A and B are shown apart, each in its own frame.
Chain A
């Protein structure tokens, strides 16, 4: 399992941040389309998020697998302010574990919260923070580590 793309999407579904492992690659545009299309499922899942179901933590942010496609798997996560995180993972036959995905998202959430504390950042605008960028790089690294374990 290796993460290949990380995206942060605002409450109004604006792309705040989208970075793929190889930004120069032409697949970059494909990720844009892929992440945008997966918002459909995020919206659907977020709309049922507030209604607690049996055996489900109402504060759960992790949305699980959104779209399984031949090449990639798309996972989602929504914060309380409905900022969404999307992780695109290479589709390998080995099942990626939810606990690992949750950990990646948790790290991303922390990085996002840190970034948001910057008084010079206007919420709802593109994220250009270098620290956040580094955090995303480390998430890419970390996800590769999961592969080697399996």
Chain B
């Protein structure tokens, strides 16, 4: 229907010269088929010309030319005939090529010649009144005649054929169909193209002549626009984009100047303006001037965006707007595919988004305006007549601009259009636009814009009852709005989701969305929250929830059925929801009383739960899970309990340390609360790490805010009740068995068990790979490797409270210097954490290190002196001298020395 506001197929693609091929029997003749294929799909695309070939039979009837118009007096009925573009692109050829099988040495030449001439005559008759030329291509089986061999027969026959057909000699070609016809094909195509261009130039000059006449008659004659459009279109067909662009721009400006936006004519001008603007933008992009294209488009929509036209048909304006944006998006994205760089604020996605927004506006309007017409559609004139002009109002058919419209006709047609409009499922027009927009915004780091588009898409899917798709789409965006705490948008998304979950009978999703909707953060009314909570609570008593308000009646029935099936299913419904990642109505905080705890003292843990829902909530179970699983048995509330609205409930747990975890950090892995009865519907809400997400943008209850979360505590070892000592008379002497007296005294109230005292040399000094110090349990008679130890352990079975024991060990060192020894005592003792608990066996340790220095036992020096006590360095034979050794013993820091005197003589 030509009243459609769609962009025409012929307009969307850059136009190509139309050449008709005649006389080719592509179905039955293999050679003809090959020729056709070579022309239409042959190789060497870069050398080929922009020609559209159409195969037409020789007796094809081409469109008739219209009667010559008297331009001075004519009163046009519209701007542009609605079949003109199609005619130029597909029906009126610029050239007709007649193919004919004929060799120069054909034996029955004359008969063939006549047959050819008669067919040419038929074609010529069909093209009467048009400037379209005809050429003949003779398909020949013999190889071409070598150049420079003027065969008299060939030339004679060619001339004869041309004169018989009434064609100039230049319009006759021969195509010897050999193995490699491509060279010939390309040469032929060049010739065709030239002739095509001639045709279009001729058409242009013809229209220009008309234009001159019209201009003389009146410079604002309505026909001028038509002429300008046609000239520009032909120029574009001629592959002169720069010229065509200028001509289209002139035409567009002329349109802006000359248009009159009466209710009857507005759509016509808008449609043509859209065509012109589309062409201008398309050419700007292809001429690599994207900014001009964008500018032109902005100017276009700014100018026409406000021209809504007649109110009852204002949906048409939005349809038109939507088509403008989407078409611009298409050419923009074509340009991007060719290598244009789009940016975040200027990319095709924006235009698709706007197209979708206009389509949404159209939908709203058509709902409002067309409802009535759809109930009582006009019976007569049910289909508007084919209009002969683009954008012509159906009630204006056959009327010139100066004639008034028939009021009655007009109303009827408006109602018809409204009734037609009402039948359209708009969502299916909107969704593809939005999904195109999403695909472009994905390249530009625009997560939030994508979320917005997805929300719009989800709502459209909801309206066309594709609840599953809506659910999937919207569920994806919830996180984006929640993370940035846009509660209003989140609540609107969640409400749609809740309706989808209800209609699909999804129990788990239904609970999940309700859980968030009734929380403190969601800005909806308390009544609404109460209603939602009421429904959610009803789930646990096995009932189906009440339908959500606003849900269409026809789908409610199937929803009832779904909920009834769910209720009757044999499987108990159990599921887990992550409450910590959502804005759940129950918040949880975990607090260990201390940041660290000793192994023999109780661990104290508080779990706080607070519900912000309007009604009290009953829970059946509470479990605290730790990363150290052995603690899991301690924190469990098996009794049902109730959370009052906005009141924090504290669960205090106290439990002993598991000794294997001493030294570790005890951490809460999750807190789980269960709603519902076992065997029926049961929901486990899980708070990972025992903490709800903190949403700070809203003020919180001060009492709740004051509770500081501490979800881990360090378990420290028990303080040992033991006195440990080492007695020794530092320093030791080299090679001495230096005694060390180890003493242990218990201060524990209970007997110690498994007492082990270990002593070790911490710094290993070696000389030539051998240790220079060893420890001995007892002094060996002959020290063997077996006795030498770097560390020693003394085992004591048990030690009673208050008892004291001591034992000697020995250290032997071979070099002087200081060494560090470490002593460590470890034992087990039963600790009582609480009277009512079993005593725990704690392992305690006490250790310290101490230095031992090693000195030489004594030093010997001597002096030689003469008998007169004079120090000498050499002695003579047989002469007495004095030898005076000096012994120095080093212990306890102070040295004692003796210096005896000997009188000697060497003999």
Which of A18, A37, A44, A126 meets B452, CB within 8 Å? Answer: A37
Q: Is the CB of B345 within 8 A of A124?
A: no
Q: Is the CB of A16 within 8 A of B697?
A: yes
Which of B302, B452, B696 meets A36, CB within 8 Å? Answer: B452
**A70 lies within 8 A of chain B by Cβ:** yes
**A49 lies within 8 A of chain B by Cβ:** no
- Bound-state CA distance A18–B452 (Å) is 17
Nearest residue (CB) in B for A31 is B488
Q: Is the CB of B449 within 8 A of A66?
A: no
If A36-B448, A40-B448 touch, does A15 touch B485 (CB 8 Å cutoff)? Answer: yes
Q: Is the CB of B484 within 8 A of A93?
A: no
Which of A29, A38, A66 meets B489, CB within 8 Å? Answer: A29
Q: Is the CB of A126 within 8 A of B486?
A: no
Q: Scan A79-118; emit 1 where CB is below 8 A from any B CB, else 0.
A: 0000000000000010000000000000000000000000
Q: Chain A contacts of B451 at CB under 8 A?
A: 36-37
Q: Chain B contacts of A18 at CB under 8 A?
A: 488
- Bound-state CA distance A70–B324 (Å) is 12
Which of A13, A67, A71, A122 meets B484, CB within 8 Å? Answer: A13
Q: Scan B676-699; emit 1 where CB is below 8 A from any A CB, else 0.
A: 000000000000000000001111
Q: Scan A125-145; emit 1 where CB is below 8 A from any B CB, else 0.
A: 110000000000000000000
- Bound-state CA distance A112–B485 (Å) is 20
Q: Is the CB of A36 within 8 A of B484?
A: yes
Nearest residue (CB) in A for B354 is A70
- Bound-state CA distance A41–B448 (Å) is 10
Q: Is the CB of B488 within 8 A of A29?
A: yes
Q: Is the CB of A41 within 8 A of B344?
A: yes
If A32-B489, A70-B357, A70-B358 touch, does A124 touch B696 (CB 8 Å cutoff)? Answer: yes
- Bound-state CA distance A125–B302 (Å) is 40
Which interface residue of B447, B449, B492 has the most chain A CB atoms within 10 A? Answer: B449
Q: Chain B contacts of A15 at CB under 8 A?
A: 484-486, 488, 697
Q: Scan B355-366; emit 1 where CB is below 8 A from any A CB, else 0.
A: 001100000000
Q: Chain B contacts of A126 at CB under 8 A?
A: 697-699
- Bound-state CA distance A36–B447 (Å) is 10
- Bound-state CA distance A85–B770 (Å) is 77
A-side interface mostly: mixed
CB distance from B497 to the nearest CB of A (A): 15
> In the complex, how many residue pairs between chain A and chain B have their CB atoms under 8 Å apart?
78
Nearest residue (CB) in A for B357 is A70
CB distance from B661 to the nearest CB of A (A): 37
From residue 14 to 36 of chain A, which have CB atoms closer than 8 A to chain B? 14-16, 18, 29, 32-34, 36
CB distance from A6 to the nearest CB of B (A): 15
Q: Is the CB of A44 within 8 A of B697?
A: no
Q: Chain A contacts of B247 at CB under 8 A?
A: none
Q: Chain B contacts of A41 at CB under 8 A?
A: 344-345, 446
Q: Chain B contacts of A33 at CB under 8 A?
A: 452, 455, 489
Which interface residue of B344, B481, B486 has the most chain A CB atoms within 10 A? Answer: B486
How many A residues have CB within 8 A of the partner chain?
29
**B417 lies within 8 A of chain A by Cβ:** no
- Bound-state CA distance A67–B453 (Å) is 14
- Bound-state CA distance A16–B486 (Å) is 9
Q: Is the CB of B305 within 8 A of A70?
A: yes
Which interface residue of A10, A70, A93, A125 has the most chain B CB atoms within 10 A? Answer: A70
**A56 lies within 8 A of chain B by Cβ:** no
Q: Is the CB of A12 within 8 A of B484?
A: yes
CB distance from B361 to the nearest CB of A (A): 9
- Bound-state CA distance A37–B321 (Å) is 22
**A39 lies within 8 A of chain B by Cβ:** yes
CB distance from B31 to the nearest CB of A (A): 58
- Bound-state CA distance A13–B357 (Å) is 25
Q: Chain A contacts of B484 at CB under 8 A?
A: 12-15, 36, 39
Q: Scan B319-359; emit 1 where CB is below 8 A from any A CB, else 0.
A: 00100000000000000000000001100001001100110
Q: Is the CB of A40 within 8 A of B321?
A: no
Q: Scan B459-492; emit 1 where CB is below 8 A from any A CB, else 0.
A: 0000000000000000000000100111011001
Q: Is the CB of A70 within 8 A of B321?
A: yes
Q: Chain A contacts of B699 at CB under 8 A?
A: 122, 125-126
If A32-B488, A124-B697, A126-B699 touch, does A40 touch B305 (CB 8 Å cutoff)? Answer: no
CB distance from B604 to the nearest CB of A (A): 31
- Bound-state CA distance A39–B481 (Å) is 12
**A69 lies within 8 A of chain B by Cβ:** yes
Nearest residue (CB) in A for B487 is A15
Q: Scan B418-462; emit 1 where CB is below 8 A from any A CB, else 0.
A: 000000000000000000000000001111110110010000000
Give residues in A with beta carbon < 8 Å to B: 10, 12-16, 18, 29, 32-34, 36-41, 44, 65-67, 69-71, 93, 122, 124-126
Q: List 20 A-B contacts (CB under 8 A).
A: A12-B484, A14-B484, A18-B488, A33-B455, A36-B451, A37-B448, A37-B449, A37-B452, A39-B484, A40-B344, A40-B448, A40-B449, A41-B344, A44-B344, A67-B345, A69-B357, A70-B358, A93-B302, A124-B696, A125-B699
Given contacts A69-B357, A70-B305, 8 further A-B contacts (CB under 8 A): A14-B696, A32-B486, A36-B486, A36-B489, A37-B451, A65-B345, A69-B354, A125-B698
The 4 closest A-B pairs by CB, nearest first: A14-B697, A40-B446, A37-B452, A37-B449
